[in-house]
Chains A and B, each alone.
Chain A
Amino acid sequence: MSARHEIKLTVNGAVREASVEPRLLLADFLRENLNLTGTHVGCEHGVCGACTVLMDGGSVRSCLCFAVQADGAEIETVESFGGMDELSPLQQKFREHHALQCGFCTPGMLVTCTDLLEKYPLATDDEIREGLSGNICRCTGYENIVRAMRAAVTERDNERHEASS
């Protein structure tokens, strides 16, 4: 049994403190310790993208990061995006375009899409597909996820255009 470490981090705006074993993965910390089960655990070696969360604003695989390494960080999970009563604009696009079926990959998809919208122009569907290529979906065939993202990109670009004019 290795020495435990005290950590303090912000998760979805709330400060959380915990004592953790070094080998505890951030994904398991979120799910098991904080009961934030919206973050899904698929492959547990960085391939499927289901566990993607925002860490200090950038998307990361929470299965490839230890909770102890998140000490001092700001984490956002899918739970911060919106709820049953009020979907976030991106969640609304996923709903409108039927971009999910079983929903297992959806939390990771939403987090990834949030970061992609922030960082890349996504001018073509090829760019969107490339951006989504690290998130595996076994239901949709991706077509409707690409459509939802195309709609989100259009909305983003319109908002940016309005803000600058």
Chain B
Amino acid sequence: MKPPAFEYLAATSVEEAVAALAAGDGEAKVIAGGQSLVPMLNFRLLEPALLVDINKVPGLDFIEPDGNGLRVGALTRHHALETSELVQARFPVLSEAMRHVAHLAIRNRGTIGGSLSHGDPAAELPMMAVLLDATLVLTGENGAREMAARDFFEGALATALGDDELVTEIRIPALPAGSGWGFEEVAQRSGDFAMAATAATVSFDGAAAGEVRLALMGVGEVPLRIDAAETSLSGSMFDETAMDQAVAAVDDAIDPMSDLHASADYRRHLAKALTRRVLQAAWQRAKGERP
């Protein structure tokens, strides 16, 4: 198995990379970790004329505080995010999600920007960006623009990223103080793509649930937030009626597909069961209990 021939440029700056992408006229692709791109090349599903390698571009590999949130550079490897103490302290739900990303050898090389740009509907990072209301910084020849993660993912492997643009950074705003969290995933084997996964955060104001967020993946072409469930749970005590309503809202919102890994019915079953688990875990953590 051999990839098709392509020209190669090891860019040394973001400007050089985006200029090469623009000149490539849609025939150039960015390579960072290459953990999704190289298999596609090996299978000859893609035949780009030029690969623009950004691994040697300085200033794109960082995890920094941003107020009480985070800024993460696009070249940050999955393993760095998985093991970052700052991420663990501020977004433990993200640390937990990162442990589910493929295998160590993939996490050592794969990058945050690469996973987001690839937009796989069964990958953890796009769902986490949507859950955490992240903003992506997209840089092109005419400068940078910002886009909410919820607007960025347009379909399976389809994003709003232009041919001549590069994801350079992801910004994650702070969660309400003391937010609880839950993350659950079901895959056939550890490290496989998820058949379905869910994640939630919940804040507790001493009397009832405050801000509630619920995200799912593997049950549609893009990661989903379930607004109706979030609205019905906010202000509740997560009693049985409120939980049932949230699960019903998930049932209404999703449109899972059948493939060789799982049937649509099984994915729907997983989505509902995992929703209940992450909401319960997030609610317990928000109240200071151990789930």
Contact between chains at B35 and A64 (CB < 8 Å)? yes
Indicate if B259 sits at the interface (CB-CB under 8 A).
Answer: no
B window 27-71: CB within 8 A of A = 31, 34-35, 38-39, 41-43, 51, 53, 55
A134-B5 CB under 8 A given contacts A22-B51, A64-B34: no
Contact between chains at A64 and B38 (CB < 8 Å)? yes
Contact between chains at A22 and B8 (CB < 8 Å)? yes
Residue interface mask A25-46, B partner, CB < 8 A = 1 = 1000000000000000000111
User: When the two chains form the complex, which single residue of B1, B4, B79 contacts A45, counting CB atoms closer than 8 Å?
Assistant: B1
User: When the two chains form the complex, which single residue of B39, B41, B190 contacts A129, counting CB atoms closer than 8 Å?
Assistant: B190
List the A side residues contacting B189 at CB < 8 Å: 133
Indicate if A61 sits at the interface (CB-CB under 8 A).
Answer: yes
Indicate if A60 sits at the interface (CB-CB under 8 A).
Answer: yes
Q: Which of A52, A71, A130, A134 has the most B CB atoms < 10 Å from its CB?
A: A134
A134-B108 CB under 8 A given contacts A3-B7, A69-B55: no
Interface-side segment among B87-95, B99-107, B121-129, B136-144: B99-107
Q: How far is the CA of A58 from the CA of B77 in the complex (A)?
A: 11
Contact between chains at B43 and A133 (CB < 8 Å)? no
| Closest partner residue, chain B, to A47 (CB atom) | B39
| Closest partner residue, chain B, to A28 (CB atom) | B2
Indicate if B191 sits at the interface (CB-CB under 8 A).
Answer: yes
How many A-B pairs have beta carbons closer than 8 Å: the answer is 102
> Chain B: how many interface residues by the 8 Å CB criterion?
32
User: When the two chains form the complex, which single residue of A23, A49, A61 contacts B4, counting CB atoms closer than 8 Å?
Assistant: A23
A61-B106 CB under 8 A given contacts A44-B1, A130-B191, A133-B191: yes
Q: How far is the CA of A121 from the CA of B4 in the complex (A)?
A: 41
Q: How far is the CA of A21 from the CA of B51 in the complex (A)?
A: 13
B99 to chain A, nearest CB (A): 9
Q: How far is the CA of A23 from the CA of B53 in the complex (A)?
A: 13
Q: 14 pairs across A/B with beta carbons < 8 Å?
A: A22-B6, A25-B3, A44-B1, A45-B42, A45-B43, A46-B39, A63-B42, A65-B38, A66-B38, A69-B34, A69-B53, A71-B10, A116-B104, A133-B190
Beyond A58-B108, A64-B35, 17 extra complex contacts between A and B, CB < 8 Å: A22-B5, A22-B51, A45-B39, A52-B105, A58-B105, A59-B108, A64-B34, A65-B34, A68-B8, A68-B10, A69-B31, A69-B53, A115-B104, A116-B104, A134-B104, A134-B191, A135-B103
**Chain B contact residues, CB within 8 Å of chain A:** 1-8, 10, 31, 34-35, 38-39, 41-43, 51, 53, 55, 79, 83, 102-106, 108-109, 189-191
**Chain A contact residues, CB within 8 Å of chain B:** 1-3, 5, 21-23, 25, 44-46, 49, 52, 55, 58-61, 63-66, 68-69, 71, 112, 115-116, 119, 129-131, 133-135
